[in-house]
Amino acid sequence: MDVKKVVLAYSGGLDTSVAIPWFKDNFGCEVICFTADLGQEEELKGLEERSKRAGASKIYIKDLKQEFVEDYIFPTLKANAVYEGKYLLGTSISRPLIAKYLVEVAEAEGADAVAHGATGKGNDQVRFDISLQSLNPSLKVIAPWRIWDLGSRADAINYAIARGIELPVSRGPYSTDRNIWHLSHEGADLEDPAKEPPGDVLMLITPPEKAPDEPAYVEIGFEQGAPRSLNGRRTDAVAMLQELNRIAAAHGVGIIDMVSNRLVGIKSRGVYECPGGTVLYYAHRELEYLTLDRNTLHYKEGAAHRFAELCYDGLWFSPLREALSAFFDETQKTVTGTVRLKLFKGNCISAGATSPYSLYQEGFATFGRFELYDHKDAQGFINLFGLPLRVRAMMKKRAGLKK
């Protein structure tokens, strides 16, 4: 493969640190790094210096937190998209955004290839590759893990040491991925699903048993399905999520432990910390219960399942995902209001919801009289609703069939 200039999605972790000298050794090409600031916080410190010491000619570090929250997290939240009942798609929806800017940098720099550090066993390789192909199919996509001779983490470490490459500071035995929406942990002790996660896994969330003995109340204001205020104060989306992360984490909320089905056919166990996201999903659902009619709510649940699969599978830029987002936007026109929640020792509990578009009418719900509802109407409705079953019962009786 002839490559003169490659743009590498650079996280500063072991794989991408090793990838820089590996490209120079094997392709003799110029390596430009790109890092998306999605809320990794301290993980971004020193990246520029480290990338250049490893051999990169330059590095782009772009703050994409606002775009990530508004254009990727909020559309997923509006859908209530959850993969296999638990996973809030924190890594899945970040990859297409990173791919978007990898392509932008590659085009600006005149690069003929882009690269990422995803392994050949995971889902991220699919998400990166498919997203990159969707945005610029003329760019070569290189995944070193799929072609280099390094077979393990130990091999990668030895390769770096032999070339004097500075290794990233170890954050424990787990493979992690962090952004403003979540922090994932995989590998090491977590690979045995029969075992409870060790106490040293959690980095953001206070274990529920150590959380405060007094609950915290949060009030989230939504406008057309998007959260816009926290505790009565309208605020920037990024600042709001950061504050909600802090509050929920302190009260033990947002720990997700699951075995999931990877797209590549492997079952994988992971522990995810998603404090603010857990609260926002709960609040959003509560408001939809109040403002969406039965048919829309039930249909939306099935569409959300499909949306989650598309995100998980790396098909963010597909026509179906875009069409579903348009559908969800339409459903959110009346999802405006305020939801109050109680956070207590790992639990997120409803504490009231209001909306100017509420479909809940006390007169309908109570047993008293209401001008639009007459109890006598119920008999005719029940007769028609049950008519197919009555006809079936009559047919079986005439035919002498047993019940």
In which residue are the tokens 């520029």 written? 48
Q: Please tell me which residue in 15, 127, 129, 184 is annotated as part of the active site.
A: 15
Q: Please tell me which residue in 124, 129, 184, 355 is annotated as part of the active site.
A: 124
Helix (H, G, I), strand (E, B) or coil at 281: helix
Q: Which helix (H) or strand (E) holds 398?
A: helix 387-398
Per the annotation, the verdict on 95 as an active-site residue is yes
Handedness of CA 178, 11, 120, 125 (dihedral sign): positive
Contact call for residues 51 and 59 (beta carbons, < 8 A): yes
Distance between CA atoms of 350 and 328, rounded to whole angstroms? 24
Per the annotation, the verdict on 392 as an active-site residue is no
Q: Please tell me which residue in 11, 17, 131, 175 is annotated as part of the active site.
A: 175
Per the annotation, the verdict on 268 as an active-site residue is no
Residue 216 dihedral angles phi and psi, to the nearest 5°: -115, 140
Q: Please tell me which residue in 50, 95, 127, 321 is annotated as part of the active site.
A: 95
For Cα atoms 386, 300, 362, give the angle at the middle one, nearest 5 degrees: 65
Per the annotation, the verdict on 112 as an active-site residue is no
Contact call for residues 123 and 260 (beta carbons, < 8 A): no
Residues facing residue 233 across a β-bridge: 230
Handedness of CA 42, 43, 44, 45 (dihedral sign): positive
Where in the sequence numbering do the catalytic residues fall?
Answer: 15, 95, 124, 175
